[in-house]
Structure 1
Amino acid sequence: MQDMDWSDLQVFLAIAQTGGLGRAGAALRVDATTVGRRLRRLEARVGANLFEQTREGQVLTDAGEALLLRVERMSRAAAEIGEGTQGRPAKVSGTLRISVAEGFGSWVLARHLPDFARAHPGLTVDLVANSGFLSMSKREADIAVMLSRPKAGPIIAGKLSDYALGLYASQTYLAAAGTPQRGADLLAGHSLIGYIPDLLYAPELRYLDEIHPGPTPRLRSSSINAQHQLIAGGAGIGVLPCFIGNADPSLSPVLPDKRIFRAFWMVTHKDTHQLARVQAGKDWIVAMIDRCRGLLLPRS
């Protein structure tokens, strides 16, 4: 980088953090034309396009992500020298996209996200919490919390925590239909709630047979939140993560000795896992998981 103008690299960093030439210019107090000119000069020296223009603004290319990692390191080092901040947490900005399972994202991550947002006011966080995961190999997300470790791809994965699941039903349903005392009782006239078999986005979601062989859900949904609403509404018995079932006072555990265990894995891309925003997100998720261990693995 010795042939590059540091001011051009600062312009590049501002565009990466704000996502637009105009916003970068406003942050640097220069006009967008100057920002664009400096970006073109830098791209000529690098020999590659650093951004792609999309409807949402400027999005980093692979070459841009690689350069951003180096420029962020330089920026942090300059800040430490100039301000004596060595050892303090670095300020992060830009957009951090986190892909998570719907239940974990809605019932655990989202409840703690405000603390992370307050700690990093310059960061925009996209929490993608739905039935399925974005592709880490294609870099559709910066961080993913998945139900299994990916078997291939340019990724880095580590186990976050085990978590427990169990059968739950509303007190209204149990008063009307009776409380099962053993797994075989689920086959005797009880209404079961579960996933749609051919729409499962992860094999780890196949768990009713672990309670007792043979039960077939009559009410099915691809959404764990919809299943929770069906169970809470008195429609039947279903499996929920304990961090959902135990959080709803209208629900009662059914066959509490029949617990199921799964695991959460945190996954990042090898090319971007060291970016400041990704490091900050990883550190927060690990710390949050430690605080929530009792919710994920409650005592029997």
Structure 2
Amino acid sequence: MQTNWDDLRLFLAVAREESLSGAGKILRLDPATLGRRMQRLEATLQANLFAKSPQGYALTEAGVSLLARAETAERAMRGVVADLPAQTDQLSGQIRIGAPDGSANYLLPQVCAAISDDNPDLDIQIVALPRVFNLSRREADMAIAVSAPTAGRLVVQKITDYHLHLAASDTYLAAHPAIISTADLRQHRIVGYIPDMIFDRELDYLSDLGISRVSLASNSVSVQINWIRQGGGIGIAHDFSVPAMRGVRRILTDQISLTRAFYLIRHADDQRNTRLSRFAEALSTGLRAEVARLEALA
């Protein structure tokens, strides 16, 4: 019976660590899954490779024989890799990201600029729209969302939590009655989303706060933030956007605080696309770091 290199690679780890848990840590593989793979390998070879006991996995005579052949194959594989021509680690081509305009305006520009610095042959496109993107129609290579979709052939990865608070400009606060508690908000002009254009339940902040009237409303986060910055009223703002708004500060932070999350959404067919996977990892890492940096400045 013939075995493939992946089976031998797993076998080598178990043989060297003498346990499924130890090998699983090295391989980043669940021990139960690894155990099934070893059972399948034994069935394929029609031989018991391990003597299993509470102390671990010890090689049988058949296992010792396979170990010698596996190590020979390992050396051969290393030689093949060493003989391959050197390849650049840089990304190239075009990648399009769909994102709600809050992250598209206040996070993605600097994160993607840093990725571009490291990959000068890569073209990055940001499509900023206040709606859910349809990856099945290939509207984008990947998308950022504020809730995890439950339908479709999609791969969903949580990127990070982020926080939101009420915010207002110093000029607005100086010209209007003091705000000591949430009850005082009834005397103030509220900035927020157009109720029937909220495309994701996670964005219905004001409803959660019991605020029904929105005097200045837009489907765009950027418009809302500019209203707040210009002294138009009080609204919910992402903490990561506050450092970009000179003269704006958070209010009632001890009484009102919201937490939401960003998710990276990809089409299931792209899981084995190394280029997109590497970009997704760089994007997620950059977003986590940038949210943490900006929130510390809020």
Normalising by structure 2, what TM-score? Answer: 0.68
Partner Cα distance (1:96, 1:191) in 2: 41
> 2:91 touches 2:122 (CA, 8 Å); kept in 1?
yes
Question: How big is each residue's C-alpha offset from its partner over 1:87-137, in whole Å with a ceiling of 9 and x where there is no partner?
Answer: xx6333221111111011110111222221122222211111221232123
Partner Cα distance (2:83, 2:243) in 1: 50
Query: Out of 226, 229, 247, which is 1:229 matched to?
Result: 226
CA displacement at 1:228 relative to structure 2: 0.7
| Identity %, equivalent residues | 30
CA displacement at 1:216 relative to structure 2: 1.4
Partner Cα distance (1:112, 1:218) in 2: 34
Unaligned runs of 5+ in 2: 1-79
> 2:240 touches 2:291 (CA, 8 Å); kept in 1?
no
Q: Quick one: which amino acid aligns to residue 285 of structure 1? A: L
> 1:155 touches 1:267 (CA, 8 Å); kept in 2?
yes
**Alignment of structure 1 residues 105-116 onto 2, 5 Å:** 105-116=104-115
Partner Cα distance (2:106, 2:196) in 1: 25
Question: How big is each residue's C-alpha offset from its partner over 1:179-220, in whole Å with a ceiling of 9 and x where there is no partner?
Answer: 311111111x21000000111121111011333x23411010
The RMSD of aligned alpha carbons is 2.2
**Alignment of structure 1 residues 84-103 onto 2, 5 Å:** 84=86, 90-103=89-102
Q: Quick one: which amino acid aligns to residue 253 of structure 1? A: R
Question: How big is each residue's C-alpha offset from its partner over 1:266-297, in whole Å with a ceiling of 9 and x where there is no partner?
Answer: 11111113323311221111221232242465
What is aligned with 1:210?
208
Partner Cα distance (2:182, 2:188) in 1: 11
What is aligned with 2:237?
240
Normalising by structure 1, what TM-score? Answer: 0.67
Bigger share in helix = 2
What is aligned with 1:127?
126
**Bigger Rg, structure 1 or 2:** 2
CA displacement at 1:248 relative to structure 2: 1.7
Query: Aligned to 1:181, what secondary structure does the other structure show?
Result: coil
Q: Which moved more, 1:167-176 or 1:269-278?
A: 269-278
> 1:96 touches 1:277 (CA, 8 Å); kept in 2?
no
CA displacement at 1:82 relative to structure 2: 3.2
> 2:241 touches 2:294 (CA, 8 Å); kept in 1?
no
Partner Cα distance (2:160, 2:286) in 1: 11
Partner Cα distance (2:285, 2:227) in 1: 32
> 1:242 touches 1:295 (CA, 8 Å); kept in 2?
no
Partner Cα distance (2:119, 2:160) in 1: 25
Distance 1:81 1:124, change over 3 A: farther
Q: Quick one: which amino acid aligns to residue 175 of structure 2? A: A
Distance 1:299 1:171, change over 3 A: closer
What is aligned with 1:145?
144
Unaligned runs of 5+ in 1: 1-77
Q: Quick one: which amino acid aligns to residue 234 of structure 2? A: I
Partner Cα distance (1:231, 1:80) in 2: 59
Q: How many residues align?
A: 218
Partner Cα distance (1:179, 1:298) in 2: 26
